[in-house]
């Protein structure tokens, strides 16, 4: 029938019936809607309307949890699933400071912590993205979940582009240049955790999304998770400011404030963004106080989330010890 309603129209209607009749999706509705999207069962105009209506009203934790469940169900995980300690997402890019968090990751991996990092790049001009600098650090970029599993086994770390996990989600993220705004997929992708790591770190830019990430992780049954307002939206503490960290540990919500490691001051602006400085700082030939504090502070939050320590002060001391004892001759390799 020419006038028969498209099955996805019901989901657009839920969001678009006006101020009094519109409502958020239930977790089950969100999962069903995203399942249709990822299966290619929606028209382009429906997808655009759906994404922008969600963007306008902002996603609820229940919606994000439902979307993530659908996205995870569509991921084809390899038979050789590795043991991963920490899932680390990188979707924002950096514009004021280099991605010092990559040296935090290297530091943790040299100390036996197995990390999967996943992300994407290029959606916002003028930013330095993780994938752009990995070759300089000799950190592996993999092309499939199976390759990522192998890399983690040999070096405790792998970076996996979003398109290798979910080509459909990557295409939706790339619609930012068409729609002019980010979509909920930026939040969904951060929570994918494709290797089911017990610990997840999240970095956000807008404070209002702290609770969304925290509650969504709780709804998803994530054992351990921490989210904080990171530099540029990446998982990197700003050492010149106190850092509010919201957590989930075994279903319990929590929050704490980590101290500024440099004292409160204005964040310096790196106008050159020369990625070779990451190697210089790692080797100790560039003694950048801001960079070192960002690396140690970020690693400390990871250590507390992993349960290696229980207090912020102890986590910072442990991260400092790791930094002083790091193997500067090997970049991107397990120590």
pLDDT digits over 262-312, tens only? 977 778 888 888 999 999 999 999 999 999 999 999 999 999 999 999 899
Residue 319 has pLDDT above 90, yes or no: yes
Do residues 89 and 230 touch, judged by C-beta distance below 8 A? no
The predicted pLDDT at position 125 comes to 64
Residue 123 has pLDDT above 90, yes or no: no
Specify the CATH number of the domain 86-324: 3.40.1030.10
Query: What does the domain layout of the chain look like in residue ranges?
Result: 9-73, 86-324
Nearest residue to 77 via CA among 19, 164, 185 = 164
CA dist., res. 299 & res. 236, Å (int): 9
The predicted pLDDT at position 2 comes to 63
pLDDT, tens only, 5-38? 999 999 999 999 888 899 999 999 999 999 999 9
Residue 332 has pLDDT above 50, yes or no: no
pTM of the predicted model, to two decimals?
0.93
* Cβ-Cβ contacts under 8 Å for 316 (sequence gap 6 or more): 261, 296, 297, 300
In sequence order, what E strands does the chain have?
86-90, 115-119, 157-161, 199-204, 224-229, 243-249, 252-258
Q: Give the single-character DSSP code of 82.
A: P
Range 135-151 average pLDDT: 89
The pLDDT-based confidence of 80 (bands split at 50, 70, 90) is: confident
CA dist., res. 150 & res. 167, Å (int): 21
The predicted pLDDT at position 282 comes to 95
The predicted pLDDT at position 331 comes to 66
CA dist., res. 184 & res. 51, Å (int): 7
Straight-line distance from the first to the last Cα atom of the chain, in angstroms, rounded to the nearest whole number: 65
Q: How many CA atoms lie within 13 A of 13 on its CB side?
A: 6
Q: Tell me which CATH homologous superfamily contains domain 9-73.
A: Transferase, Pyrimidine Nucleoside Phosphorylase; Chain C (1.20.970.10)
């Amino acid at each position: 029938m020419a006038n028969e309603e498209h099955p996805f129209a019901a989901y657009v209607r839920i969001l678009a019936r006006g101020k009094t009749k519109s409502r958020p999706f239930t977790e089950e509705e969100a999962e069903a809607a995203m399942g249709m999207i990822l299966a290619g069962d929606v028209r382009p105009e429906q997808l655009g309307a759906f994404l922008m209506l969600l963007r306008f009203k902002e996603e609820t934790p229940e919606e994000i949890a439902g979307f993530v469940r659908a996205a995870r169900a569509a991921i084809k995980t390899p038979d050789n699933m590795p043991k991963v300690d920490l899932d680390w997402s990188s979707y924002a890019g950096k514009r004021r400071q280099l991605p010092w968090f990559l040296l935090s990751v290297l530091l943790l991996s040299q100390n036996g912590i197995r990390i999967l990092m996943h992300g994407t790049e290029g959606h916002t001009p003028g930013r330095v993205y993780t994938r752009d600098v990995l070759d300089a650090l000799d950190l592996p970029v993999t092309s499939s979940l199976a390759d990522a599993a192998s890399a983690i086994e040999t070096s405790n770390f792998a970076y996996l582009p979003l398109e290798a996990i979910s080509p459909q989600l990557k295409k939706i993220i790339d619609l930012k240049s068409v729609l002019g705004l980010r979509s909920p997929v930026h939040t969904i992708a951060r929570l994918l955790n494709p290797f089911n790591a017990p610990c997840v770190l999240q970095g956000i830019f807008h404070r209002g999304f702290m609770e969304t990430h925290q509650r969504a992780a709780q709804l998803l049954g994530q054992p351990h998770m921490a989210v904080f307002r990171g530099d540029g939206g990446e998982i990197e503490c700003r050492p010149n400011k106190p850092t509010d960290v919201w957590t989930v540990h075994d279903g319990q919500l929590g929050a704490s404030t980590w101290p500024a490691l440099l004292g409160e001051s204005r964040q310096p602006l790196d106008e050159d963004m020369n990625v070779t400085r990451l190697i210089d700082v790692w080797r100790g030939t560039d003694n950048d106080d801001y960079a070192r504090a960002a690396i140690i502070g970020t690693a400390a939050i990871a250590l507390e989330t992993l349960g290696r320590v229980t207090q912020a002060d102890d986590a910072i001391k442990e991260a400092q010890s790791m930094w002083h004892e790091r193997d500067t001759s090997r970049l991107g390799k397990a120590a």
